[in-house]
Structure 1
Amino acid sequence: MKWAEGLKAAANGVAACPLPDGVTMPATISAQELETKDFPPISWVVEGLIPEGLTLLAGKPKIGKSWLALQIGLAVSTSGEVLGRRTTQGTVLYAALEDNPRRLKSRMSKSCRCASGWPRELIFATEWPRLDAGGLEATEAWIGQHPNTRLVIIDTLATVRPASNSRDSLYQSDYQALRGLHDLANRHGVGIVVIHHVRKAEAEDRFDTVSGSTGLTGAADATLVLSNTSDGKVLYGRGRDLAEFESAVEFDQETCRWSDLGRPCDAYGSATRKAIREALTAGKNSPKDIAEHCGLDYDLCAKTLQRMAEGGEVLKGGRDNYRLTPDPLP
């Protein structure tokens, strides 16, 4: 009996058909078994920012993605902090494939503030084969040779991306470009950060600006987008284990380091909005009480509160009572 005919027979109540040669039945688990199964907590490379697995970091050219990647690599290799977040220490491979050793030394001289010298656990490469030409195997072999590996940074995706197959759709091509790295990161329990670009066209959802199709963001466990806004630079984050967030960030030209300024509405908001947020923090909830507390015109206060509610900065309850939207990364 042919396999397809066997499936049809099984559906009609006939004895189950054998699987094709070389095919094994996938493992399954019942809901009851799942209920009693214990799993370890989420493993973070950078707490609340980069989970174990594959992370895509995207932004426009020259916005400072490589500086941020270097800052992350330095922090992880020295058990430091990045953007005010703790890291899990380990060996870091930074494949800076658009740089050369001279430029890397210049960048390290500006950004490294290690009292005991530059970290031995931060290792650079300026050349790496494409993923479909031995690059994936080379990455896995490198991780095997460095058992304390915690993070691999690939800067940029374009330098290692597999050659596209004309028979594949754009989504399939993008998804397959990262699928191997995704599997590798999860099998070895490490973080892999891939640097990528965004397209010129703006989008209502910042994550739709990532260059290419949604296959890239679909293959990644988490996506970070570093973006310019009319107020300043903002880092957006979203992922399977990463709570969606947006933080105002600032680049210091002297130290060549990024810092987290908090919520964009706090860092870049108008004086009126800041006053309203301070009043809400002080326990004032109605437009009347907030206006009196801040010394604001009532109509201005009420209209601003309405716009803040529409933008998600505050939450509106019954009887025109307002409260601050909880911070996903307190």
Structure 2
Amino acid sequence: MRTVDPLQLPTSFTITEARTADLGEHPRLLDGLLYVGLSVVFSAPGLGKSMLQAAVEEHLAFGRPFGHWMPEGPHRCMVVDLEGDMRLAAERSLTLTPWGLLPSDHGRPMPADIDYETEWPGHELAEKLARLDQRLTEAEQEGRPYSYVRIDTLRLFLGSKPHGVNAYEWDAWCLRQVNRLALQHGVCIVAVHHTNKAGELSGSTGIAGSAVAVMKLTPNPDNPDECLLVSEKVRVDAPFRYALEMDDKGRWSFTDAITPTQAQLTGTKRAVVDVLTSRGPRDAADLRAALPTINPNTLKAALRRLSREGITAYRRGRWELSQLTIADHPKCRLCDQPMTVVERGQDTHPQCVPDPGVEELARTWLGTPTVEIPAQPGPAIEEPEHQEEDQEEEHDHPETRRFPAFAEMKRGFEQRSRMHPLPRVVKAEREGKPWTLMSERMDGAHQSKGWTGPVPADDALIAVIDRNGSFPSACSSVPVAPNALTHTGALGVDVAERRQRGGIFQVVIPEWREEGTPHPLGRVGAVGETVWITSSAIEHMDKLAAAGRVKLLDVLDSWTGRRNASLFEPFYRWAKQLREATASEPQEVRDEAKRAISTAIRGLWPKQARSPFWRPDWNISIRAEASIRHWDRADKAVAGGAWLLSLGNTDEAVFVMPAGETDRLWVPEPYRIGPGFGQVKHKPIKLRTGEEVMSPMPYAQFKLRGVPRRERQR
């Protein structure tokens, strides 16, 4: 099967080639909303589409909350705002993110920023596009590429149509050039546009025909604080509809309080759908009783119109929402409330957890999960000293146990069938490259004995903290190649090229001069050594290079495929739900749940156990992603003034507490105490005397850490 880059589709082909090619998924920034290429968002003037896009940009660049989405990492953004100025940009940003919530407000560096341009050079469109191409190219060469560009407004950027030129041909040509530029650089360009007097997209149909996606923001005439964001066209994915609500500060937010269908309706039709949404199917008498202020004839006419529009259906003497409408705005399987679906397969709110009855059912029915879990990306991994699940022998097949982790992982791959994942390499190919290049140390795990920070005084208090759910959290957005790896050779220092690829890359380990943290690549190798690293590792090093903290890596060789970061999302959601459902269970049940999850991840690279999978690169990538998240969180703590003493393997971090700190639950920013994925807890350590002491403890006591001699002899 021929693999085709979705950003460089052939312009000449046969239908047989198209049917048999592996076209993969079109790259996107936010699944179900933002796609690489040109998107056009339009509405009537003054509705707030620029404010909505500003919220998108602060989400991408700063990680600010936005709906249920979570970016894979910080994305550099550019805004060409030809209608605004610095004052307006500052007002919008402070409205969306109050002062003090960003590190830059306190003089600390940001991993990504939003570049504003209120004037753009060039009189003709060709000159403007040439300048945009130059800016994108320069950013890529600097190692700080843009992921997102907003053009506000489209008409001001394109300029007036030349005299005598057909309007459709002009609009289509202009937008094709913008879309081609976006695909060439792998960025998402969002063009803000206005409606005409009829409320439709201003201009000719050539605008809609040349973009990857076209979306419209439509207000509700009965309620100015509600609107509907609906796709009029999506060429690379399924259409979408989202309900939005505006708060008292003029900020739009995605909401589950109403459905998209409710957001688009007014008057009696809205009142009827409100009743059917909240109460379920009702007969005519029930509807009249629920809506006593509406004339019965008016109600009957509204029901007929809703039926003709396919919103409601009359079955077995009762009115109900049609199956198409229900599918358009499903309810959460746990709380039975309306839910905005932001990814395929989602059927619960991210914040919902099973009630005691559901937990009891999960307990009695062999722990089989009762729901699928929505994604909420989290952090990092775990240290051999307390990784009981990783120490267990693999002689029993995991599917004989209570929690079917292998089945859930397999089902997750099936949900990503469009990627054509290859979860098992045939035995005949395992003795050749690239599989013989894989090694355990590619996970980049950090070892407490490998690096130690400045040594404190003996009476200084030491906080030993441990992160929860590190390995399964890494599954939320780990970059891998779902298909087989192919030899792609040297890629040099072209960041834009390698960020589209997942796999393994051969590089020389660069020097690391910062004393407050260990080397970002952990145990991969020594400085100056030629090694193989994963996609997670090279993307992490590229970000550090863009920040000027390390030399940009030169890729000497590579085995890669098309990059994808959502392959393991379904398994992550199931694992997160399982950990939450067993949180109140006895310790042995919790341990068994952890072992099931860990065994499935280990089963991607089985050594002795039976497994339906064999993808060492996936296994190593998950572990490397966890190590990187572990290092990154500690690095942010150090940047905030914390004193790091050591990093353990995957989830343990040891900090020196500030002098005078008396809070026994102290942890440095940005760590958070709690039981959830990515949160931390203080942990006990075992001393060489056999005694076990709880964090925090004096450094004099911490120095005695170790396994008692009698246990080592066993």
TM-score range, shorter chain: 0.7 to 0.9
Asked if residue 263 in structure 1 is aligned to residue 256 in structure 2, the reply is no
User: CA 1:31/1:161 → structure 2, altered by over 3 Å: closer, same or farther?
Assistant: closer
| SS across alignment from 1:54 | strand
Which residue does the alignment assign to 2:278? 278
In structure 2, distance between residues paired with 1:296 and 1:74: 43
Q: In 2, distance between residues paired with 1:312 and 1:220?
A: 29
User: RMSD in angstroms over aligned alpha carbons?
Assistant: 3.1
Q: 1:132 to 1:307 in 2, by over 3 A?
A: closer
Q: Which residue of 1 aligns with 2:136?
A: 143
The answer to whether the Cα contact below 8 Å between 2:78 and 2:149 also exists between their aligned partners in 1 is yes
Partner of 1:123: 115
Counterpart amino acid of residue 34 in structure 1: A
- Of Structure 1 and Structure 2, the greater strand share is in 1
- Say if 2:58 is the partner of 1:62: no
- Residues 58 and 293 (structure 1), Cα distance of their counterparts in 2 relative to 1, 3 Å cut: closer
- Partner of 2:579 in structure 1? none
Distance 1:305 1:97, change over 3 A: same
- The alpha carbon displacement at 1:59 in A equals 1.7
Post-superposition shift, 1:307? 3.1
Give yes or no for the alignment of 1:237 onto 2:231.
Answer: yes
> 2:57 corresponds to which residue?
73
Residues 99 and 135 of structure 1, relative CA distance in 2, 3 Å threshold: same
Measure, in 1, the Cα distance between the counterparts of 2:11 and 2:59. 39
Higher mean displacement: 37-46 or 116-125: 116-125
Tell me whether 50-59 or 229-238 shows the greater mean CA deviation: 229-238
Taking a change above 3 Å as real, the CA distance of residues 45 and 212 of structure 1, as seen in their structure-2 partners, is same
**Deviation per CA, 1:219-264, whole angstroms, max 9, x where unpaired?**
111112223332233322232134334433222242x421123434
Alpha-carbon displacement from aligned partner over 1:92-130 (angstroms, at most 9, x marks no partner): 001112112222222222222444236542111111124
1:107 partner amino acid: R
Other structure's SS at 2:198 match: coil
Amino acid at match of 1:117: S
Aligned with 1:77: secondary structure?
Answer: helix
Aligned residue pair count = 292
Name the CA distance, whole Å, in 2 between partners of 1:49 and 1:319.
39
State the Cα deviation string for residues 130-159 of structure 1 (Å, max 9, x = none): 452521111112112223321100111232
Check whether the contact 1:309–1:315 (CA below 8 A) recurs between aligned residues: yes
Q: What TM-score, normalized by structure 2, do the two folds share?
A: 0.37
Q: Distance in 2 between matches of 1:31 and 1:260?
A: 40
Give how far 1:323 is off: 4.3
Q: Are positions 1:110 and 2:95 aligned together?
A: yes
Residues 33, 177 of structure 1: CA spacing in aligned structure 2 closer, same or farther, 3 A cutoff? closer
Give the deviation of 1:162 after TM superposition.
4.1
User: 3-state SS of the aligned residue for 1:117?
Assistant: helix
Q: Distance in 2 between matches of 1:138 and 1:315?
A: 54
Q: Which has the larger radius of gyration?
A: 2
Call closer, same or farther: CA 1:228–1:274 in 2, change over 3 Å. Answer: closer
Q: CA deviation at 1:63?
A: 1.6
Once the two structures are TM-superposed, the CA of residue 273 in structure 1 deviates from its matched residue by: 2.7
Deviates more, 1:222-231 or 1:75-84: 75-84
Cα distance, 1:220–1:315 mapped onto 2, change above 3 Å:
farther
Tell me if structure 2 keeps the 8 A contact 1:47–1:87: no
Q: Which residue among 146, 153, 156 is the counterpart of 1:156?
A: 153
Q: 1:132 to 1:274 in 2, by over 3 A?
A: closer
Deviation at 1:305, TM superposition (A): 4.1
Pair 253,319 (structure 1): closer, same or farther in 2 beyond 3 Å: closer
Contact 1:246 1:263 survives alignment (8 Å): no
Q: CA deviation at 1:320?
A: 7.0
The structure whose RCO (Cα within 8 Å, separation 6+) is larger is 1
Deviation at 1:178, TM superposition (A): 1.6
2:37 is the alignment partner of 1:53: yes
2:18 aligned with 1:31, yes or no? no
Taking the aligned partners of 2:32 and 2:260, their CA distance within structure 1 comes to 17
Aligned to 1:327: 328
Query: Which whole-Å CA distance do the structure 1 matches of 2:273 and 2:160 have between them?
Result: 50
Aligned residue identity for 1:249: L
1:3-45 Cα distance to aligned partner (Å, 9 max, x none): xxxxxxxxxxxxxxxxxxxxxxx86333333333212323222
SS across alignment from 1:82? coil
Letter paired with 2:278: E
Out of 174-183 and 78-87, give the one that drifted further.
78-87
Instruction: Describe the SS at the equivalent of 1:175.
Output: helix
Residue type at the aligned position of 2:104: G
Q: Deviations over 1:50-93 (max 9, x none)?
A: 21110111122222122112111111112444344344541100
The answer for unaligned runs of 5 or more in structure 2 is: 1-9, 330-339, 342-714
Identity percentage of aligned residues? 25
Separation of aligned partners in 1, 2:214 and 2:262 = 23
Counterpart-to-counterpart distance in 2, 1:104 and 1:292 = 51
Provide structure 1 residue ranges, at least 5 long, that are not aligned to the other structure: 1-25, 203-208
Q: Which residue in the other structure is 1:217 paired with?
A: 208
Going from structure 1 to structure 2, the CA distance change for 1:54 and 1:316 (only over 3 Å counts) comes to: farther
**What is the letter of the counterpart of residue 251 of structure 1?**
M
2:217 aligns with 226
Amino acid at match of 1:91: R
Partner secondary structure for residue 25 of structure 2? coil
CA contact (8 A) 1:96 1:156 kept: yes
Deviation at 1:176, TM superposition (A): 2.1
